[in-house]
Structure 1
């Protein structure tokens, strides 16, 4: 690989890492090309960049980002997954692939500058995703006005029942 190609890889990875809110380093040793293609497709579906890169290039690229702490721990073959919008989506995609394929493992990561070990990334994958959290907040917010409307509807309904009962009493008499 030429020096210019290496500089371009470093620059691209640095730009991606600067925008990413989460970065996870994974071990892909023993995976076939087909399995790696499946993993990349799953990552692409949730908006994650998954890139196999040499450790020295990754160290240089991550150096001045909030994921710089990762460079200290990079050893052997590894790949970097970078997530931008929803950190839980990245963790879930990698954890789901890890359940299907025992050769794959998550080593460590950083979430907005905080170091996560493999257990931390796994715990992150068990959290509800951003759309699930937003839907539960929206449901909670809608509950108050809905209950308020139902309260007034019940008052009117009871008043109508009382008027109907009075009408039936007068007709019977």
Structure 2
């Protein structure tokens, strides 16, 4: 690979990393061709772009960004690396990795690290956290639901209380007769 080709790949990766807020770095070392094909099929079905890239090129592309990715240097950018990009959700690639391990019964696909909205996650132990991560839309929906809940309770109490009060007044007025 020539320097010009490497520079093009680094530039392309830099743009991809800066434009995609959710990316995962994995290792598929030791996987058979069939397992890799299953992985690529799952990625395609879930809208995930999967690319195998040299660690040095990934590192140089990450250095061009504003976020500090130095935690990736020690553990993540070693050995065989593949990058998963998802444009909309930080948990879809994590769910895909777990699904792949479950369906194939293989632990050959390893989670090495991820960047989710500029937060860095390193190590296989972080995979469970990432699978339960809520998207921005889900969090906004939760907040709106929480904000609406007290108002609904007040309106409900007032409307039901009004009916009870009217019933009590009617009963009291009938007793006086």
Is the structural similarity TM-score above 0.5? Answer: yes
Residue 26 of structure 1: how far off its partner (Å): 0.6
Give yes or no for contact 1:23–1:83 (8 Å, CA) kept in 2.
yes
What is the rounded CA distance, in whole Å, between the counterparts of 1:141 and 1:5 in structure 2?
53
Residue of structure 1 equivalent to 2:59: 59
Residue 87 of structure 1: how far off its partner (Å): 2.2
TM-score (norm 2): 0.74
Q: CA RMSD in A?
A: 2.9
Residue of structure 1 equivalent to 2:92: 89
Residue of structure 2 equivalent to 1:144: 150
Give yes or no for contact 2:53–2:81 (8 Å, CA) kept in 1.
yes
Q: Which structure 2 residues correspond to residues 65-144 of structure 1 after superposition, within 5 A? A: 65=65, 66=67, 68-69=69-70, 70-73=72-75, 74-101=77-104, 102=106, 103-111=108-116, 112=118, 114-144=120-150
SS of 1:82's equivalent in the other structure is strand
SS of 1:87's equivalent in the other structure is coil
Task: State the number of aligned residues.
Answer: 168
What is the rounded CA distance, in whole Å, between the counterparts of 1:148 and 1:118 in structure 2?
46
**Which residue among 153, 159, 168 is the counterpart of 1:153?**
159
Segments of 5+ residues of structure 1 without an aligned counterpart are: none
Give yes or no for contact 1:50–1:79 (8 Å, CA) kept in 2.
yes
Give yes or no for contact 1:53–1:78 (8 Å, CA) kept in 2.
yes
Residue of structure 2 equivalent to 1:12: 12
Kindly provide the CA deviation profile for residues 18-49 of structure 1, in whole angstroms up to 9, marking residues without a partner as x: 234343211123143421322321441xxx43
Give yes or no for contact 2:92–2:131 (8 Å, CA) kept in 1.
yes
Q: Which structure 2 residues correspond to residues 22-37 of structure 1 after superposition, within 5 A? A: 22-29=22-29, 30-31=31-32, 32=34, 33-37=36-40
